[in-house]
């Protein structure tokens, strides 16, 4: 059983890469000197996905990392090429281009025989997917480095120090403070998954706060990512739940008139099965997305106040820098809290699915 849970935990990282949300427009959202800055567009541009990774703009030229585009057109043929072919969304290649329409904004499209914009089958390595590979590699490196120290522990003296000690502190705080109390005696079965989820969310949250490459991608503020994480918890809870757990859902210990002839309580319990992962998904997505949006909005104050004069712009710039720095430090705390909350709620839901028959509880007393 524990091997099954560990397999699920490993496959989590690979599944997330395939389920990244559709890319957003990669065109530069900042306005030029003749046009006012469009704050909503700037925010959506920075929190969205894209087919290339924008690094900076120097002398009006965008510096970005092109990413591979992998699409299957309406003709049934596969196409592999660099996103640099699109020239930041202003040109087409082999009939494919990045749409600027409301329906497919920021997504690769082509024109079918009827002259309509249609989406090809798209397996492109977008910014979010590329960031997932980088962050997952960081997670794997951290785990392997820690495991290497403990594997050689017999030939070393003393306790772990520095980085390894910090990793051990995080692991033990999650295991002793979350997993054991919430799940109980079967906690070892689910420890690999819950530790993977915690560190995966925490690392992606931290990397998302780094404004320069390879950070800055809005991974855990992406609804597809949080949906996949929540689905892992949902399937673990319901696949490995005990018979007593399912009995309490389908035929709970309540007065008979709440179960028949109208199955009111069973219906409420079944709805609760789906609201739990929904809460996990929305809580993580909304908090991380809001944090990114607030930081970008504060930075935009510098550009919005340019027209108000030098004194006002200088004062608001100083205020913007102070507030942005404060919110960034606050988001570091939020990065840990959200990973902690997702893990503890998942552990609670898993613990509730490990219900034992009531006669066993009575025998223990």
Residue 24's nearest CA partner among 49, 5, 47 is: 49
Instruction: State the pLDDT at residue 158.
Output: 66
pLDDT at 350 over 60: yes
Per-residue pLDDT at 103: 82
For 205, the token pair is 């949250």
Residue ranges of domains in the chain:
2-21+126-364, 52-122
* Model pLDDT for residues 188-201, shown as the tens digit of each residue: 999 999 999 999 99
What confidence category does residue 124 fall into, taking pLDDT thresholds of 50, 70 and 90? very high
What mean pLDDT comes out for the span 274-282?
93
Q: Would you say residue 172 has pLDDT above 80?
A: yes
- Asked if 205 and 338 touch (Cβ cutoff 8 Å), the reply is yes
Q: Which residue has the higher pLDDT, 286 or 252?
A: 286
Question: Per residue in 78-120, pLDDT tens?
Answer: 999 998 888 766 788 888 988 888 788 888 999 888 888 899 9
Please write the tens of the pLDDT for every residue from 231-248. Answer: 999 999 999 988 888 888
More confident position, 124 or 306:
124
Residue 77 neighbours by CB distance under 10 Å: 10
User: What pairs with residue 63 in β-bridges?
Assistant: 56
For residue 200, the model assigns a pLDDT of 95
Tokens of 216: 């800055």
3-state SS track over the chain? CHHHHHHHHHHHHHHHHHCCCCCCCCCCCCCCCCCCCCHHHHHHHHHCCCCEEEEEEECCEEEEEECEEEEECCCCCEEEEEHHHHCCCCCEECCEEECCCCCCCCCEEEECCCCCEECCEECCCCHHHHHHHHHHHHHHHHHHHHHHHHHCHHHCCCCCCHHHHHHHHHHHHHHHHHHHHHHCCCHHHHHHHHHHHHHHHHHHHHHHHCCCCCCCCCCCCCHHHHHHHHHHHHHHHHHCCCHHHHHHHHCCCCCHHHCCCCCHHHHHHHHHHHHHHHHHHHHHHHHHHHHHHHHHHHHHHHHHHHHHCHHHHHHHHHHHHHHHHHHHHHHHHHHHHHHHHHHHHHHHHHHHCCCCCHHHHHHHC
Nearest-angstrom CA–CA distance, 76 and 79: 10
What's the alpha-carbon Rg for the chain, to the nearest Å?
25
pTM to 2 decimal places = 0.83
pLDDT recorded at residue 298: 86
Q: State the virtual CA torsion across 278, 282, 283, 286 in degrees, nearest 10.
A: 180
Q: How confident is the model at residue 23 (pLDDT cuts 50, 70, 90)?
A: very low
Give residue-wise pLDDT tens across range 126-135.
999 999 999 9
Q: How confident is the model at residue 141 (pLDDT cuts 50, 70, 90)?
A: very high
| Sign of the torsion formed by the C-alpha atoms of 320, 323, 327 and 329 | positive
Distance separating alpha carbons of residues 176 and 188, to the nearest angstrom: 11
Query: Which residue's entry shows tokens 């991974």?
Result: 219
Mean pLDDT throughout 174-179? Answer: 93
Give the model's pLDDT for residue 253.
Answer: 78
Per cent of the chain over pLDDT 70 is 86
Distance from C-alpha of 3 to C-alpha of 140, rounded to nearest angstrom: 18
Kindly indicate the confidence band of residue 33, based on its pLDDT and cuts at 50, 70 and 90: very low
The pLDDT mean for the chain works out to 82
What do you get for the CA distance between the two ends of the chain, in Å?
28
Residue 266's pLDDT is 85
Range of 151-160, 221-230, 261-270, 354-363 with top mean pLDDT: 221-230
pLDDT of 29 over the 80 cut: no
Determine the angle formed by the axes of helices 127-151 and 162-174, rounding to 10 degrees: 100
CA dist 203 to 159, 200, 219, 233, Å? 25, 5, 10, 19
Mean pLDDT of 46-67: 83
Residue 263 in tokens: 């199955």
């Amino acid at each position: 059983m524990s091997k099954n849970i560990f397999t699920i935990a490993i496959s989590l990282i690979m599944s997330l890469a395939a389920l990244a949300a559709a890319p957003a427009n990669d065109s530069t959202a900042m306005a030029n000197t003749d046009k006012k800055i469009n704050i909503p567009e700037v925010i959506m541009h920075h929190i969205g996905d894209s087919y290339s990774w924008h690094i900076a703009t120097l002398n009006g030229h965008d510096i970005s990392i092109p990413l591979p585009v992998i699409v299957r057109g309406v003709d049934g043929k596969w196409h592999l090429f660099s996103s640099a072919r699109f020239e930041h969304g202003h040109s087409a290649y082999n009939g494919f281009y990045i749409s600027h329409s409301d329906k497919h904004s920021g997504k690769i499209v082509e024109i079918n025989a009827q002259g309509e914009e249609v989406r090809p089958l798209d397996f492109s390595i977008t910014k979010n997917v590329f960031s997932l590979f980088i962050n997952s590699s960081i997670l794997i490196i951290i785990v392997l480095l820690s495991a290497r120290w403990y594997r050689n522990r017999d030939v070393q003296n003393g306790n772990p120090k520095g980085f390894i000690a910090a990793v051990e502190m995080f692991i033990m705080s999650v295991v002793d403070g979350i997993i054991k109390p919430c799940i109980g005696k079967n906690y070892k079965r689910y420890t690999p998954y819950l530790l993977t989820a915690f560190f995966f969310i925490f690392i992606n949250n931290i990397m998302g706060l780094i404004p320069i490459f390879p950070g800055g991608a809005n991974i855990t503020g992406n609804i597809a990512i949080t949906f996949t994480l929540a689905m892992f918890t949902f399937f673990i809870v319901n696949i490995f739940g005990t018979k007593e757990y399912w009995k309490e859902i389908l035929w709970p210990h309540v007065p008979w008139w709440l179960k028949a002839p109208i199955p009111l309580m069973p219906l409420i319990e079944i709805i609760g099965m789906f609201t739990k992962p929904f809460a996990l998904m929305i809580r993580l997505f909304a908090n991380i997305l809001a944090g990114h949006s607030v930081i970008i909005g504060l930075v935009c104050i510098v550009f919005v106040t340019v027209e108000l004069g030098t004194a006002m712009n200088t004062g608001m710039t100083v205020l913007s820098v102070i507030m942005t720095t404060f919110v960034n430090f606050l988001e570091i705390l939020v990065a840990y809290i959200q990973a902690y909350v997702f893990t503890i709620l998942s552990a609670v839901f898993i613990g509730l699915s490990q219900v034992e028959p009531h006669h066993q509880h009575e025998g223990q007393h």
